[in-house]
Amino acid sequence: MPDAKTMKQERISNYHDVADNKIPKRVPVGITIGFEATVQYFGYQLQNLYWNPGVTEEEKADQLCQSVYSDVLPFSTTSMRFPTLYQYLESQSFVMSSRGFMQHPEVVGMLPEDYDYLIEKPLDCLLERVIPRHYKSFNVNDPISMTLNFTKGILGFLNDPKEGAAVSATMRERYGYYPGPPAGSGGFTAMPFDFLADQLRSFSGISKDIRRMPEILIDACEALYPIVFKRGLPKVVSNYGTVNIPLHMPTFMREKDFEKLWWPTAKRLVEEYASMGIHCNLFCEDNWMRYLDHLSELPTDTTLRFEYGDPKLVKQKLGDKFILGGLYPMQLLKNGTKQQCIDKAKEVIDALAPGGKYAFSMDKGIQVLSDLNIENLNAVGEFIRDYAVYDNAGEAAGKQFNKADYKAPTDASFKIDSKYYSTWEEYKAKYPNISDFAANKIQSYEDQLLFLITYLLV
C-alpha cells in the first residue's frame, strides 16, 4: 500500500483531472458517512454530540478509516444543522426530535398577501415577516432579548463546526485523503423557485400558487435572484471548487410549469456563475429523467449528481459535457448482500465511467446508523478502487469548459435594495472619513450577515 503522502497526491491528481477534462488514473471514490450516522456508529448519543462535536475519539475515527475505503474522509464531524443556532432563535422550521435528530417540518413563513412586499423589497420582507414567523426570538417587542439570543446563536453557528476539525485534519493527513478544493472556493445556495417554495410558501402553499397565481411567481423568483446569487458566490474562484445546489421542486411540477416558472432563473444562475469561472454541483433530487434535455443546456463541467434514474441514459445524453455522480442506491448497502452491492457498483461504473467526467458518489447521504453496513460499504469502495482504472489516463475527456461561452451577470444580479444591507459605497457615504482600506472588510461583514440570514431559510 502506498504511503499517505503518495496516496494524497494520487487522489488530488484524480479529482483535479476530472475537473480539468482529463482522464484520471482511476475513478475517484467519494464515500462519506454523515455526521449523525457517524455519531451513532461511534456509540455516542446524538443529543450529546450535537453540543460537543469535538469529543470524537481519535482511536474510533482511526478504526473507521481502516474499515472503509474512500478517497475522501469517510466520516464527518460537522453537521449542517447544529441545534445551538436554532434553539437560541426558537426555530419552528428546524427542531430536534425525541431521538435527537434535527428535523424540518413543513412550515409557512410567507403568506399570499406578502408577495407584493417580497417583490418590492425581498430582503426586507424576509427579515420583517418571514424570519419572525419561523424564529420566535425575532420579537421586536423585546429587542434586548432578541439581540442577545441572535448573538448567542451566531456564536454557536461560528464555533460548532470547528470543534471536530482537529480529528478530521489528523485523519486526512494520516491516510492521505483528498483535502478538498482550495479554501473559500465552495458555496451553497438554492435556486430562486426552490428558495421560495421550501420555507417561504411551503410545498402545499407553492403548489396552490402555481395554479392560482403563476405570473406572480415569476416576479418573485426575479426578486429573490440577487439574494440567492450572492449567497452562493465563493470568495475564491477555482476550477476545483463548486457551488452546491440541491434541486427540490421540478419533479413535483408539470413540465410546462417547470419551463415557465422554475427553469429560467435556475438556468440563468448556473450560466452567470459559469461566466465567472465558477462551477455548480447540482443534486438532482428524485427522478430527473424527463428533464435530461433541459439539463443538457447547462454550462459545460457542471456537476450533476442524480438520486434516481437510468445510468446508461444519463451517460448517453450528458456524459460528454457534464461531470456525473450519484445513482448508486445507498439503500442497497443496508438490504443487499456483499456481492449484490459489488454487482451494482460494477453496473453503475460500466455505465458512467467510460470517457471520464465521473466521480463515484451515492444517490443520497448516509444519515442514520440503520442505513450503514460497514462491510458492504467497504466492499464497494475497494471494488471501485481496483476495478475502475483507466488505461488512457491523461487524455482529454469530453467537451472543454470556456467561461467566455456564457453571458456575464449584470449589475442587477448583485443589487440588493434594502435598508438592512449596505454596499461599501453606501457605507462610506455615511462615514466619509473612513479609510478605503476598510472596503473589503466592511463589504465582507455585510455579505457574511446576508449569508447567515439566508442560512435560516435554506
Q: Model pTM?
A: 0.96
Sequential pLDDT tens for the chain (458 residues): 689 999 999 999 999 999 999 999 999 999 999 999 999 999 999 988 899 988 888 999 999 999 999 999 999 999 999 999 999 999 999 999 988 889 999 899 999 999 999 999 999 999 999 999 999 999 999 999 999 999 999 999 999 999 999 999 999 999 999 999 999 999 999 999 999 999 999 999 999 999 999 999 999 999 999 999 999 999 999 999 999 999 999 999 999 999 999 999 999 999 999 999 999 999 999 999 999 999 999 999 999 999 999 999 999 999 999 999 999 999 999 999 999 999 999 999 999 999 999 999 999 999 998 888 999 999 999 999 999 999 999 999 999 999 999 999 999 999 999 999 999 999 999 999 999 999 999 999 999 999 999 999 99
**Could you give phi then psi for residue 244, rounded to 5 degrees?**
-85, 130
Q: What's the pLDDT score for residue 213?
A: 97
Distances in whole angstroms, Cα of residue 76 to Cα of each of 64, 272, 303: 11, 32, 22
Reduce the DSSP state of residue 411 to 3 states and report it: helix
Q: Do residues 79 and 103 touch, judged by C-beta distance below 8 A?
A: no
Q: What's the pLDDT score for residue 1?
A: 64
Reduce the DSSP state of residue 1 to 3 states and report it: coil
HSE-up of 35 (CA within 13 Å, CB side)? Answer: 25
